[in-house]
């Protein structure tokens, strides 16, 4: 299991439109083979932060999807993106 988590920072005034513009990417990710879950969501405390959470069945599934990353306009809007990929050996449902 692969977890991708972190944050994307954009200008506060652009955050909501940035998330709206990611709708197609979110839908495409969720429809991708090997995607378990995919979220980009505005942070309720930091007005310039977008929270990132992805769950994938394998590294191969992540890599297949990564080719359809953010558009050049979206990339230009990103000020910082501390996002990390984690390899998970096991999970327990709570």
Q: Which domain holds residue 64?
A: 2-82
Average pLDDT estimate for 62-69: 81
**Domain-located, residue 93:** no
CATH for 70 = 3.30.70.100
**Domain-located, residue 90:** no
In sequence order, which residues have a C-beta less than 8 Å from that of residue 60 and are 6 or more positions away? 34
**Domain-located, residue 23:** yes
pLDDT in tens, 5-33: 999 999 999 999 999 999 999 999 999 99
Total domain count for the chain? 1
Q: What is the pLDDT confidence band of residue 72, given thresholds at 50, 70 and 90? A: confident
Quote the pTM value. Answer: 0.90
């Amino acid at each position: 299991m692969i977890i991708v988590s972190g944050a994307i920072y954009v200008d506060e005034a652009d955050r909501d439109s940035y998330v709206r513009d990611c709708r197609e990417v979110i839908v495409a990710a969720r429809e991708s083979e090997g995607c378990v879950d995919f979220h980009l969501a505005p942070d309720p405390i930091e007005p310039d932060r977008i929270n990132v959470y992805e769950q994938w069945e394998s590294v191969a599934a992540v890599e297949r999807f990564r080719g359809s990353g953010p558009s050049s306009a979206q990339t230009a809007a990103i000020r910082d993106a501390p996002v990390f990929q984690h390899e998970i050996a096991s999970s327990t449902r709570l």
